[in-house]
Copies of this chain bind each other. A is one copy, B any other.
């Protein structure tokens, strides 16, 4: 995703208006590597702009996606995650707490799909599933003791 300033120019050149809501969301998403959901972004936005609506967050994220400024990530059955990182990269998901981390992958060019001669391939996505160090520790401590789940974990599990 471009910088808030660059986006401002892009918006104006497309006849779109530059509202305070949009400017705030540009800031919150620019360089954001947390892969937030619309709800979590809405929470952050509300802290700085009480009254902003969840509907506007969804609308802005959708228009940024249409403009090619960010991508959607759908993993598991929970909410869609939004990613302003347009570099060629992939993801690792902690199956315990649900966090998504960026990861560069060496070797994707060597991936050879077999048996789909009738498909024109445009893109490849790689998703690693694992457990992050924090969750690994939690597991070590409580072998059988259930430990408190973070909101992210709740979400992941409720899926």
A residues contacting B by CB (< 8 A) are 72, 74-77, 80, 90, 92, 94-95, 101-108, 110-116, 118-133, 136
Contact of A133 among B114, B118, B124, B132 (CB under 8 A): B118
Which residues in B have their C-beta under 8 angstroms from that of A115?
A: 102-104
- Contact check, A101 vs B116: say whether CB atoms are below 8 A apart: yes
- Contact check, A130 vs B120: say whether CB atoms are below 8 A apart: yes
**A119-B105 contact, Cβ under 8 Å, with A74-B76, A125-B127, A126-B124:** no
Main secondary structure of the interface of A (DSSP, over half): strand
- Contact check, A123 vs B128: say whether CB atoms are below 8 A apart: yes
- Contact check, A119 vs B101: say whether CB atoms are below 8 A apart: yes
Which residues in B have their C-beta under 8 angstroms from that of A129?
A: 121-125
Counting every copy of the chain, the complex holds 2
- Contact check, A136 vs B113: say whether CB atoms are below 8 A apart: no
- Contact check, A128 vs B132: say whether CB atoms are below 8 A apart: no
Q: How far apart are the CA atoms of A51 and B113 in the complex, in Å?
A: 41
Q: From A76, which residue of chain B is reached at the shortest CB distance?
A: B74
Q: How far apart are the CA atoms of A101 and B124 in the complex, in Å?
A: 14
Which residues in B have their C-beta under 8 angstroms from that of A105?
A: 111-114
Q: How far apart are the CA atoms of A125 and B75 in the complex, in Å?
A: 11
- Contact check, A92 vs B111: say whether CB atoms are below 8 A apart: no
Shortest C-beta distance, A118 to chain B (Å), equals 4
Q: How far apart are the CA atoms of A121 and B157 in the complex, in Å?
A: 19
Shortest C-beta distance, A156 to chain B (Å), equals 12
Which residues in B have their C-beta under 8 angstroms from that of A119?
A: 92, 94, 101, 128, 130-133
